[in-house]
Structure 1
Amino acid sequence: MTSTASSNDSTTATMSKSLYIDGVWTAPVHPRTVPVVNPAMGKSIGHIAVGASDDVERAVRAARAAFSSWSVTPVAARVAMLDKIYHLILERKELLAQAIMTEMGAAISFARASQVPLAAEHIRVARDLASSYPFLKIEGHTAIAREPIGVCALITPWNWPLYQITAKVGPALGAGCTVILKPSELSPLSAELFAQIVHDAGVPAGVFNLIQGSGPEVGEALATHDDIDMISITGSNRAGALVAQAAAVSVKRVTQELGGKSPNVLLPDADFARVVPLGVMSAFRNVGQSCSAPTRMIIPRHRLAEVESLVAATVNVMVVGDPRSEETVLGPIANEAQFLRVQALIEAGIAGGARLVCGGPGRVEDLTEGYFVRPTVFSDVTTDMRIAQEEIFGPVLSLMPYDTVDDAINIANDTKYGLGAHVQSEDLDSARAVASRIRSGQVHINHPAWDPHAPFGGYKRSGNGREYGIYGFEEYLETKAILGYA
């Protein structure tokens, strides 16, 4: 289904033309702007200022100067700052939701229900962890101190723009680090709103800095800078590898949350009428633009026809259209380059011999503007096909039949990625057994509720390190042993 309410200039956002460095909004050393494109319209709605290496230098100096005091600020004061940030996000949740809808096309209902509140949760969790974390423990005569690692560069993507920012900034500030945030220039509006929240919360100058700009310019300057102690990046495999290579010269800590090709294994005893629609919705959440989206549904071969029918019925009632409409489930793909990639991979699925259940290439009927993709499901997908191996990052689901449970596990693990996975079964012991054999950083059994404390990160080429909860918090800490302390 489509929603044909048109997007118009009422969605135009007011753009700033400045960076946030050392506690003030400031122009780049060499002023330059790039357009911000509303993907529902496929055209520019304004411009933002972008920085370069000179601006990185300014931000690093500010962050380094602020670190000496922020790192020894009483924990209670850091907790109080995070508490202010948390409540300001909640107070400005509608403004943030509107910005996310405008900059990357998230349906407004999804932005309100998920993008913003889940982002706020990362700040709340960091606040609570910092307030109770044992920064100093005595073991015999030795003290084990956990100290902030230093100045951290945080590089975030366009698909969950605020959520990924708070997942990094919250624990970094709570741990006592100072930060330089480089959000994606493709979804910059929520990042600027967040920077204003940090400012209004009273975070000291230099503790938090924001530089908009591209990966090759700002990202590389951050990765190579000798006075940055850690890089945390969420992005593509290519970007993660380039950052790691650049950071290796100065032996920085690098944490990476990269791509995924997550399996969803339906065991024969699963309640198919319940879990198949949930599996489709999970795969297509955020228009499929989630690195952990379970886009490979692995199902018993003898139930393939049944699953195809359930999948088609689920997809056919999804409303695709204007993200401002409360009825819309799937808005546009977030940018033109990603739209073209999704189209190319749908064509590759057809060329590779997969059978279309619904959707296919081309624009959504009645939506002539913007980057709207037809929600697409392929069946009879095998592991040698491109659509089974490459991260598509769009509303494209592959149905992959299996004959035995061992086959299902082999299919699930036949990928260079290992970020997320799902297992469905009425028998919890069976689900646990399969979950233990899947090589991924998270496994969800029977579509559980989201847990902001559950560590998130990947095996294999899905990255290094973890985010969320105490595991993400500790990424921003060094370990010091002080012998003879007691």
Structure 2
Amino acid sequence: MREYLKFYIDGQWVDPVEPKTSDVINPATEEPAGRISMGTAADVNKAVAAARKAFPSWSQTSKAERLEVLKSIQAEYARRQPELGEAIMEEMGAPSSLANGFHVGLGAGHLQTAIEVLEKFEFEQARGAHVLRYEPIGVCGLITPWNWPMNQTCVKVFPALATGCTMILKPPQLASLSAHILAEILDAAGVPAGVFNLVQGSGSVIGTVLSKHEDVDMISFTGSEPVGVQIQKDAADTVKRVGLELGGKSPWIVLDDDQLATNVASATAGMMGNSGQTCSAGSRLLVPNSRMAEAIEAATAAANGVSVGDPRGNFAMGPVVSKGQYNVIQEYIQKGLDEGAQLIAGGLGRPEGLDKGWYVKPTVFVGTNDMVIAREEIFGPVLVIIGYDDADQAVEIANDSPFGLGGYVTGSDVELARSIARRMRTGAIWINNGFDFHAPFGGYKRSGNGREWGDYGFHEYLEIKSMIGF
């Protein structure tokens, strides 16, 4: 079992001020995969002081110096990718192919993107009678979730480093093993002391102290809407910047064409990826009412075809992250049944033959957009199919949500897909499964504010200075 009992503060691995530990549970076995120390306000204060001390020198480094550090991190990250994948598989139950593939690959992709953006980024621009200057905002508190441990951590850490900020990372209590390895990577790569700091523990303690701290200039948080709201309140007294990437109930619109069955099957299987624990998952599948029977057949077959089992085996889907998450998902499935939604795949309980581990059946309902299972984020492998009559109604249903993080449009009529995408009130839309590390990502409405990924991710960590008459 892994034991990560020290924090990384001011370039050193140090003991917590007060010894207190917590187990990280492997959701596939329900047994401890590791043990971490639980930090206190005193640990946060030490980390913030280190970051504040390091900021004057790191903020004045050149692009070339920061590029050298990022490339050193890149080499070390590549060397330790297998260890990261193993840790992710153990801490949150991602199948080996996913943990060692997309999970770890997203972190590497954000690192490469930060290098590419930094190489071209102009920190000073002459604009008429003034010069516009971008400067690092200062000390940043980075609070990350458990569902995509490397993606959500690297999309914050690397832009913050690239722009000259210093930081304190608070990784998720449920899945903090990979973050510890990332800290080792940054240390081995020669990130200067105090620039990056890591303190583990509960969000209610570490996150709250960071959010209220007078010497923290910014909070970047990815997680649930209620916690994001509380962070904004906690940060208000110090008027710090708060970037939030929160929940979603993303619509996936399948157009009426001869590829409908294939596209419905792809959307259904895609929703089940990472056990449905993705903030931008296409959890509302919108299909033409005139093709509903065909869509149901395709979705049923696709969901029933998703193999579920031990992350170390050759399965498409592993467990959800914890007993608590499992119970929440079961409650939502029961709500769907109580609301009268038509269950066409999955349902309550574990899949057959899996008596241990927090495994959920890939579940598909046919329902309406006013049902609880279509309004609230379930964060599990539960899909709701909703019918529409025409493109206008599809857009109306898609936009009828308190969230606006992601959206999908799939179909052979690309112009129609583009037209629909322009009308959807959501921060990111994937047309026919497009992908780009440089595309900004973030939400409308209750899905948050600010943007990550690419050059827009840099702006999260920069202040704007006007020098008039320069």
Q: Classify the TM-score, shorter chain.
A: over 0.9
Distance 1:274 1:113 in 2: 24
Distance 2:176 2:3 in 1: 9
Q: Which amino acid aligns with 2:461?
A: Y
> Residue 135 of structure 2 aligns with which residue?
147
> Residue 369 of structure 1 aligns with which residue?
356
Distance 2:389 2:53 in 1: 61
> Residue 64 of structure 1 aligns with which residue?
52
Matches within 5 A, 1:94-105: 94-105=82-93
| 2:330 pairs with 1:343 | yes
Q: Which amino acid aligns with 1:65?
A: K
Task: Quote how far apart the aligned CAs of 1:141 are.
Answer: 3.2
Unaligned segments of structure 1, at least 5 residues:
1-12
Task: Quote how far apart the aligned CAs of 1:220 are.
Answer: 0.1
Q: Which amino acid aligns with 1:313?
A: A
> Residue 329 of structure 1 aligns with which residue?
316
Q: State which drifts further: 172-181 or 137-146.
A: 137-146
The answer to whether the 8 A contact 1:181-1:208 is kept is: yes
> Residue 19 of structure 2 aligns with which residue?
31
Q: Which of 175, 189, 214 is the equivalent residue of 1:201?
A: 189
The answer to whether the 8 A contact 1:270-1:424 is kept is: no
The answer to whether the 8 A contact 2:221-2:228 is kept is: yes
Task: Quote how far apart the aligned CAs of 1:282 are.
Answer: 2.0
Distance 2:390 2:441 in 1: 29
Distance 2:319 2:258 in 1: 32
> Residue 305 of structure 1 aligns with which residue?
293
Q: Which amino acid aligns with 1:390?
A: E
The answer to whether the 8 A contact 1:106-1:331 is kept is: yes
Distance 1:179 1:416 in 2: 32
Alpha-carbon displacement from aligned partner over 1:182-219 (angstroms, at most 9, x marks no partner): 01010010000000000000000000000101111000
The answer to whether the 8 A contact 1:452-1:468 is kept is: yes
3-state DSSP of counterpart to 2:3: coil
Alpha-carbon displacement from aligned partner over 1:393-422 (angstroms, at most 9, x marks no partner): 111110101122222111111110000001
Distance 1:45 1:287 in 2: 19
Cα gap change, 1:103 to 1:83, in 2 (>3 Å): same
Matches within 5 A, 1:130-169: 130-169=118-157
Distance 2:122 2:346 in 1: 53
> Residue 180 of structure 1 aligns with which residue?
168
Alpha-carbon displacement from aligned partner over 1:124-178 (angstroms, at most 9, x marks no partner): 1111211221001112331111000000000000000111110000000000000
The TM-score with structure 2 as length reference comes to 0.99
3-state DSSP of counterpart to 1:367: coil
Distance 2:356 2:424 in 1: 41
| 2:377 pairs with 1:398 | no
| 2:398 pairs with 1:412 | yes
3-state DSSP of counterpart to 1:443: strand
> Residue 422 of structure 1 aligns with which residue?
408
Distance 2:391 2:149 in 1: 37
Distance 2:269 2:302 in 1: 8
Matches within 5 A, 1:349-360: 349-360=336-347
Q: State which drifts further: 253-262 or 111-120.
A: 111-120
Q: Which amino acid aligns with 1:91?
A: R
The answer to whether the 8 A contact 1:264-1:298 is kept is: yes
Alpha-carbon displacement from aligned partner over 1:2-22 (angstroms, at most 9, x marks no partner): xxxxxxxxxxx4222111100
| 2:444 pairs with 1:446 | no
> Residue 293 of structure 1 aligns with which residue?
281
3-state DSSP of counterpart to 1:204: coil
> Residue 10 of structure 1 aligns with which residue?
none
Alpha-carbon displacement from aligned partner over 1:366-409 (angstroms, at most 9, x marks no partner): 11111000000001x11221100010111111010112222211
Alpha-carbon displacement from aligned partner over 1:305-336 (angstroms, at most 9, x marks no partner): 111111121122221000001x2100000111
> Residue 217 of structure 1 aligns with which residue?
205
Distance 1:270 1:344 in 2: 37
Q: State which drifts further: 208-217 or 270-279.
A: 270-279
The answer to whether the 8 A contact 2:33-2:90 is kept is: no
3-state DSSP of counterpart to 1:268: coil
Q: Which amino acid aligns with 1:337?
A: G
| 2:446 pairs with 1:457 | no
3-state DSSP of counterpart to 1:398: strand
Q: State which drifts further: 362-371 or 289-298.
A: 362-371
Distance 1:461 1:209 in 2: 30
3-state DSSP of counterpart to 1:436: helix
Distance 2:423 2:133 in 1: 36
Distance 2:396 2:354 in 1: 40
Distance 2:393 2:457 in 1: 34
The answer to whether the 8 A contact 1:38-1:102 is kept is: yes
Matches within 5 A, 1:241-260: 241-260=229-248
Distance 1:80 1:323 in 2: 36
> Residue 189 of structure 1 aligns with which residue?
177
Distance 1:53 1:342 in 2: 33
Distance 1:386 1:115 in 2: 30
Superposition misfits of 4+ residues, deviation over 6 angstroms: none
- Aligned-pair Cα RMSD in Å: 1.0
The answer to whether the 8 A contact 1:172-1:473 is kept is: yes
Q: Which amino acid aligns with 1:318?
A: V
Distance 1:270 1:297 in 2: 17
3-state DSSP of counterpart to 2:168: strand
| 2:4 pairs with 1:19 | no
Q: Which of 206, 215, 221 is the equivalent residue of 1:227?
A: 215
The answer to whether the 8 A contact 2:249-2:403 is kept is: yes
Distance 1:205 1:99 in 2: 25
Distance 1:246 1:391 in 2: 24
3-state DSSP of counterpart to 2:428: coil
Distance 1:216 1:99 in 2: 24
Unaligned segments of structure 2, at least 5 residues:
none
Q: Which of 43, 47, 67 is the equivalent residue of 1:55?
A: 43
Alpha-carbon displacement from aligned partner over 1:247-266 (angstroms, at most 9, x marks no partner): 01100000000000000111
The alignment of Structure 1 onto Structure 2 pairs a total of residues equal to 470
